[in-house]
Amino acid sequence: MAARRIGDRLRHMLEAANAIERLAAGKTLEDFGAGPDLAAAVERYLERLSEASRHIPQELKQKHPEIDWRGVADIGNVHATPMTK
């Protein structure tokens, strides 16, 4: 994979992680259950993070074994159930 595309994928991962952190800051589980928009936005960023991680070359992943690459990729496969009050 071209270095530029790898850089784009890593940037997508960082942007998604930053957005999740920003959206979740100071929020409670009740906040996420109060309306669908917040949870949907975080879910979408998790999907983007997961998808981008799947396009990182194995050689780069092996240089960073401290990252749970499988866990990052798999988080996009988790489907949330609606929260009830």
Q: What are the φ and ψ backbone dihedral angles of 31, each rounded to 5 degrees?
A: -60, -40
Task: Give the model's confidence band at 80: pLDDT under 50 very low, under 70 low, under 90 confident, else very high.
Answer: low
pLDDT value, residue 47? 94
pTM (two decimals): 0.82
The C-alpha atoms of residue 20 and residue 76 are separated, in whole angstroms, by 13
In single-letter form, the type of residue at position 15 comes to E
Enumerate the domain spans of the chain: 1-25
Cβ neighbours, 10 Å, residue 35:
10
Q: In the structure, what pLDDT confidence band is assigned to residue 84 with cuts at 50, 70 and 90?
A: low
In whole angstroms, what is the distance from residue 85 CA to residue 3 CA?
A: 47
Would the pLDDT of 37 be above 90?
yes
What value does the mean pLDDT take over residues 10-16?
96
